Amino acid sequence: MGEYVYLIAGLEVALEPKKFNCNQCAASYKEINKAAKRKPKGCYDYSTRVYKIENVLYKSCIGNYNNSMDFLLEAFSFYEKGMLPFKGTLAEQPAKIIDIFNIIEQRRNEKIKVKDGK
């Protein structure tokens, strides 16, 4: 469950970059009491605010879970074009990477449906 939780949170950050951009969020506060205003959002540690994704509750800002999805998203992009990330056929690919690609595709499609209002 732990890896899945980080994957989903990292995907949320990657698919909603403006929503969970720490620099942009922090810039929206004036220097006076910036830390005090960021604490309830869970910028540094646990907060009273709860973020929920797929029935998983996060007690700190999802931006904290940004675990560098760049490699996975780039590999997924190539995978969609028919280029496999590892040597061999599709059947020879590690099951975990195929599971990750399926999760990425599912989350992306859900975001598109919500964006299109379907």
pLDDT tens for the chain, 118 residues long, are 578 888 888 888 888 777 777 777 767 666 666 666 666 666 766 666 777 888 888 877 777 776 667 888 899 999 999 999 999 999 999 999 999 999 999 989 988 888 887 6
- Is residue 58 domain-shared with residue 112, that is, in the same domain? no
What is d(CA 118, CA 116) in angstroms, rounded to the nearest whole number? 6
- Is residue 81 domain-shared with residue 94, that is, in the same domain? yes
- Is residue 82 domain-shared with residue 34, that is, in the same domain? no
Residues 43 and 61 sit within 8 Å (Cβ to Cβ): yes
Number of domains in the chain: 2
pTM (predicted TM-score): 0.71
What is d(CA 52, CA 72) in angstroms, rounded to the nearest whole number? 23
- Is residue 85 domain-shared with residue 31, that is, in the same domain? no
Find the domain containing 117 and state its range.
68-118
- Is residue 36 domain-shared with residue 54, that is, in the same domain? yes
Which amino acid does the sequence have at 38? Answer: R
Which amino acid does the sequence have at 71? Answer: F
